[in-house]
Amino acid sequence: MHDHFAKTAKIVGLGSYLPERILTNRELEAMVETSDEWIRTRTGIRERRVVAEDEALVDLVVRAGRAALTDAGVEPEDVDLLILATATVEQPIPATAAIVQPMLGLVNAACFDLSAACSGFTYSLNVARQFIATGEAETILVVGAECLTRYVDWTDRSTCVLFGDGAGAVVLKPGTPGEGILHVRWRTDGNYADIISMPGGGSRFPPHSIESIDKRLPYIKMRGNETFKVAVRSLTEISREVIDAAGIGVEDIDLFIPHQANMRIIQAVGNRLGLSEEQVFTNVERVGNTSAASIPLAMVDARNEGRLKPGSLLLTSAFGGGLTWASSLIRM
């Protein structure tokens, strides 16, 4: 029931952090032409969190990372590797993972960022488990974190209502076959690279170019209708792949935590997979789309609500810019 590794990677700690400021749909009504009812019926989102003016990505990463290390009972110097999944880096050079390393006290860890948009956390789990399976690492900290509100175009009513800030983290240690990360499947299709993108701020349109600012290129762009269709199809297919690979039935899954992008996507995928409402976890109504932070944030909330317990069989699926999509089956 698991991919063929002598050692598996087991989740031994969870942590999360959300900024204090809550931005409600009612407040958005005063900022852009939209309504609470429109946002709720199309996305399921009621509110999202926004970083304070003096906060940036590292602040979220450090808080979530510390919480996960404490939860795992792991000392910072025992961490061999930090993988930070994010699309909203602190600065272009160096990697944000390097900037947070001294703040977290990870003196012995190699550190790098992983860029796969909303699939970043699940991609990172797949990378992390290879290092544990080969014996290259004993203790790995994986963090998914985003400051998406810094890249939102507040004049674009179709996208500005969707995104929120936050960070979630897990600590991984070696486990025995049958526990931990049992299966992961991941996919990329760059033919759809322009469906979800931020064209400005890179080598094509550098941050300092006037053209880039004038054309509003350093902002998140999304083609919503196309995204919806491809997301539902991709998430359903990759979730089925993982379920089939494990040789289990849908009824064996204790909890399904999909990427919290949109309630309608989540419900459509749950229905197609034949999952009951009790099997599907959502917190999108409170946090919005937090991209790479989405699944670990939801894992912490699910555990706090008593829905994710030791021994639970967890299915996760994510979909994001790239396009990237990925699914994992985890025995907690």
Catalytic residue check, 118: yes
Q: Do the beta carbons of residue 111 and residue 84 sit within 8 Å?
A: yes
Using CA atoms, how far residue 176 sits from 56, 92, 153, in Å, is 38, 39, 46
147 is catalytic: no
Residue 195 CA to residue 193 CA, distance in Å, equals: 6
DSSP letter at 227? H
- Annotated catalytic residue, options 25, 126, 262, 289: 289
Q: Indicate the residue type of 211.
A: E
- Give the chain's mean pLDDT: 95
> What percentage of the chain reaches a pLDDT higher than 70?
98
Between 263 and 213, the more confident residue is 263
Pairwise pLDDT comparison (205 vs 75), residue with the higher score: 75
In a domain, 291, yes or no: yes
Confidence check: pLDDT of 126 > 70: yes
Strands 110-114 and 81-85: parallel
Number of H helices, E strands in the chain: 10, 13
Domain end position, chosen among 177, 198, 220: 177
Query: Token pair 């910072």 is at which residue?
Result: 76
Compare 119 and 202 and report the one with higher pLDDT: 119
Model confidence at 3, pLDDT cuts 50, 70, 90, reads: low
The pLDDT of residue 87? 97
* Structure confidence at residue 2 (pLDDT): 57
- Considering 111, 118, 147, 160, which one is annotated as catalytic? 118
Which of 177, 192, 208 delimits the end of a domain? 177
Residues spanned by the domain of 249: 182-331
Residue 81: strand, helix, or coil: strand
pLDDT exceeds cutoff 70 at 308 = yes
Instruction: Classify residue 304 as exposed, middle or buried by CB count within 10 Å of its CB (0-12, 13-18, 19+).
Output: exposed
Its pTM stands at: 0.96
Active site residue 259: yes
CA atoms within 13 A on the CB side of 13: 25
How many domains does the chain fold into? 2
Structure confidence at residue 4 (pLDDT): 64
Is 81 in the same domain as 208? no
My answer on whether 135 and 107 are in the same domain is: yes
Interval 236-268: pLDDT, tens: 999 999 999 999 999 999 999 999 999 999 999
Nearest to 267 by CA among 225, 323, 228: 228
- Report whether pLDDT(297) > 80: yes
pLDDT band, residue 215 (cuts 50/70/90): confident
**Tokens 């947070």, residue located:** 100
| Rounded-to-integer distance, Cα 79 and Cα 76, Å | 6
Q: Which residues pair with 223 in a beta bridge?
A: none
pLDDT at 133: 95
Q: Exposed (0-12), middle (13-18) or buried (19+): which is 104, by Cβ within 10 Å?
A: buried
Based on the domain organization, do 147 and 233 belong to the same domain? no
Examine the pLDDT at 48 and tell me if it is beyond 60. Answer: yes
- Kindly provide the b/e burial profile for residues 201-226, where b requires at least 16 CB atoms within 10 angstroms of the residue's own CB: beeebeeeeeebeeeebbbbbbeeee
Burial level of 289, CB count in 10 A (0-12/13-18/19+)?
A: buried
Q: Is the dihedral of CA 81, 84, 85, 87 positive or negative?
A: negative
Same domain, 92 and 171: yes
Q: Rounded CA gap, 71 and 74, in Å?
A: 8
Q: What is the pLDDT of residue 210?
A: 83
Residue 87 φ/ψ, nearest 5 degrees: -110, -5
- Co-location of 63 and 31 in the same domain: yes
What count of other Cβ atoms lies within 10 Å of the Cβ of residue 288?
A: 30
pLDDT (0 to 100) of residue 226: 85
Query: Of 126, 147, 259, 283, which is the active-site residue?
Result: 259
Which CATH number goes with the domain that contains 142?
Answer: 3.40.47.10
Pair 225, 173 in one domain: no
**Alpha-carbon span 216 to 253, nearest angstrom:** 44
Token code pair at residue 191:
């033919």
pLDDT of residue 223: 87
Q: Is residue 250 part of a domain?
A: yes
State which of 127, 152, 177 marks the end of a domain: 177
Least confidently predicted of 141-150, 153-162, 214-223, 231-240:
214-223
